Amino acid sequence: GQQVMQIPQYQHVQEGEDFTTYCNSSTTLSNIQWYKQRPGGHPVFLIQLVKSGEVKKQKRLTFQFGEAKKNSSLHITATQTTDVGTYFCAGEGGGNKLTFGTGTQLKVEL
Amino acid sequence: KAGVTQTPRYLIKTRGQQVTLSCSPISGHRSVSWYQQTPGQGLQFLFEYFSETQRNKGNFPGRFSGRQFSNSRSEMNVSTLELGDSALYLCASSSVGTGLYEQYFGPGTRLTVT
């Protein structure tokens, strides 16, 4: 079945440093979504990308969808302590079923 | 609008018992999905219901079942509980009709099987 992997699994950064997480699917995706889960919380939707090569920005966050629609990335510029959490990508490869990535846990140190 | 609610929030059961979890979606959302989250396996899709019909199913044994009512509220049942069923069970609703839209997650039910 479809698999969605994310790297890295963990990332520790100093506040102010940049952070990137990469998402790779074993199959072509019709769209990809990104979620953030704070410690002790539940996943919260961030964004959805649909088009090949699409790039979207939300303040310090930049999301990209690969040309082949099999990979995606989330880049955070100048991390803050409020960015702490686990970031998940979720791809829909067919059949209206989302497959979540393995997640990247981000820790931000002062 | 009120968010997705799940009850109970915490549950402790023993092996062999069964459990029923409840989810109330955001008003107007007709799609409800269930996920199992564990530290080792991440977020795994259990099933999705839309207009009282199971539309998608993940790779879980038949001990895991669900249903959806006419008011879109959903229940998930796990029979013959095993230690490995200990997890956070998340419910998510969506306004999806024929397309795929963002999932709005509830706070989850933390199930511990002893």
Beta-bridged to residue A56, according to DSSP, are: A63
User: Inter-chain contact B107–A44, Cβ cutoff 8 Å?
Assistant: no
User: Inter-chain contact B56–A43, Cβ cutoff 8 Å?
Assistant: no
Q: Which residues of A touch B42 (CB under 8 A)?
A: 88, 100-103
- State the pLDDT at residue B66: 97
Q: Is residue B99 within 8 Å of residue B55, measured between CB atoms?
A: no
Q: Which of B103, B107, B108 sits opposite A98 (nearest CB)?
A: B103
- State the pLDDT at residue B97: 58
- Strand-pair category, B74-78 with B19-24: antiparallel
Measure in Å the smallest separation between the Cα of A45 and chain B Cα atoms.
6
Beta-carbon contacts of B24 under 8 Å, excluding residues fewer than 6 positions away, are B4, B5, B6, B73
- Using CA atoms, how far residue B72 sits from A27, A67, B22, B57, in Å, is 32, 37, 11, 17
Q: Is residue B81 within 8 Å of residue B19, measured between CB atoms?
A: yes
Q: Is residue B42 within 8 Å of residue B64, measured between CB atoms?
A: no
Q: Which residues of A touch B45 (CB under 8 A)?
A: 97-100
Measure in Å the smallest separation between the Cα of A99 and chain B Cα atoms.
7
Tokens of B77: 């049942």
Sequential pLDDT tens for chain B (114 residues): 789 999 999 999 999 999 999 999 999 999 999 999 998 888 999 999 999 999 889 999 999 999 999 999 999 999 999 999 999 999 999 986 545 678 999 999 999 999
Q: Which of A88, A92, A103 sits opposite B100 (nearest CB)?
A: A92
Neighbours of B30 (CB within 10 A): 16
